[in-house]
Every structure is written in C-alpha cells, then in structure tokens.
Chains A and B, each alone.
Chain A
C-alpha cells in the first residue's frame, strides 16, 4: 500500500513551458486535492475533485488546470509556467467517512517546481 505518490519529485521549467504533475492514490479515496506551499503561506488549495470526472476550483486556481479521468489519478497541468508558480506542490486524498475522522486528508511527498 503506497498511499499517495507524486511524479516527478523535482522539476525546473523555463517561463512559458508546460508540464503535468501526476498524483496517484491506492486507497480508493473519492476526494483528491492539489495544494501549493510557499514560505509563510501554509498550504493553499488549487483545485480539487470529489469523484472521477469531476473537478472544482480552490483558492488559487489561476494558471492551472486539472483532470480526474480515473478515480486513482489526479493530474495538475501548467499550460504556460510563470516564475510565480515556483513552489512545492502537494497532492492529497480523502474518503468522505464518518466522524470523528471526517475528511482526513492523506498527503503525498510533494513536487518541488522551479520556474526560471
């Protein structure tokens, strides 16, 4: 049971390039999330999905797109990377269970992205 995995672990992009980050979970969780973490800013939600084929915007969605074609995978795309998108990106998943562990989120190890 690998939990939540993210690919790649590190990436350097030039401004204007595109890339896709892959998140995979093997816990059969319904909900998946993409966050970015910047110093002093905590984790900010980019996009999330409540099930296969559905996605929704989070707090900071601009410049990103997502897709959830399979229940176990959640992809985050950057169409035209900008230096402001330099960050650490975390994927998480959760199962809409019962109290008290309602919506406990399990996180992946992160992807460090630098845009020059």
Chain B
C-alpha cells in the first residue's frame, strides 16, 4: 500500500464548476501538507501548503486537512481552462523529504 493515495483521474469539469481533489495517507507522523500544480511537460510548482487541521484559503483555492481521518482535499472554485493541469498532493513528516501522491489530472472545458 502506498503511503499517499490519490485518484489519477482524469477529472473533467465545465468552466466555472468547483473542482474537488483529495488524497489519503497512512503515516500518522506526517505533519505538513502541500499541493503542487504541474502543467504538461513542466516541473511541479507549489500551490498551497498547510501544517494544521482545518481549512486554508488562497483566492479561488481552499486546502482542507483532516488529520483524524488522514484525508486532505483541494477545492478550486470558479474553475478556469488555465486550471487544467495535474495536481499532486505532497506530505512530509519532520525532516526534508516529501512523499507525493500519484497526481490527479484535471481538465476544465470552456
């Protein structure tokens, strides 16, 4: 069993819809939770990060962490075609190493 599980998609939504992405993890030692966005043929870039349970908002993006269920989510409101990308969750314990989910490919159709 992978330490971090993520549905690969693809997830296809119409422009303006809410995109809902999630990851589950198994290691209780994980403390820091991040979402990276990766456009086709590019390197990942950090989108959001949090280190506590609850919600964190940044513009159209909301990251949600439920440590008791070992479940993290990313919501994208008012989705745009430019949001079409692969979204990877990344989680880490203390230290410098990240554990990535497999990524979910999102397609926002105009």
Residues of A whose CB lies within 8 Å of any CB of B are: 4, 31, 40-45, 48, 50, 58, 90, 92, 94, 96, 99-110
Beta-carbon contact of B42 and A94 below 8 Å: no
With the chains together, A31 CA to B97 CA distance in Å? Answer: 10
Interface centre among B8, B43, B50, B92 (most CB of A within 10 A): B43
Beta-carbon contact of A103 and B42 below 8 Å: no
Query: Nearest residue in A to B56 (C-beta to C-beta)?
Result: A100
Interface centre among B50, B97, B101 (most CB of A within 10 A): B97
Beta-carbon contact of A107 and B44 below 8 Å: yes
Query: Nearest residue in B to A38 (C-beta to C-beta)?
Result: B102
Beta-carbon contact of A41 and B42 below 8 Å: no
Contacting residue for A96 out of B8, B32, B96, B103, CB 8 A? B96
Beta-carbon contact of A45 and B43 below 8 Å: no
Distance (Å) between the CB of B95 and the closest chain A CB? Answer: 8
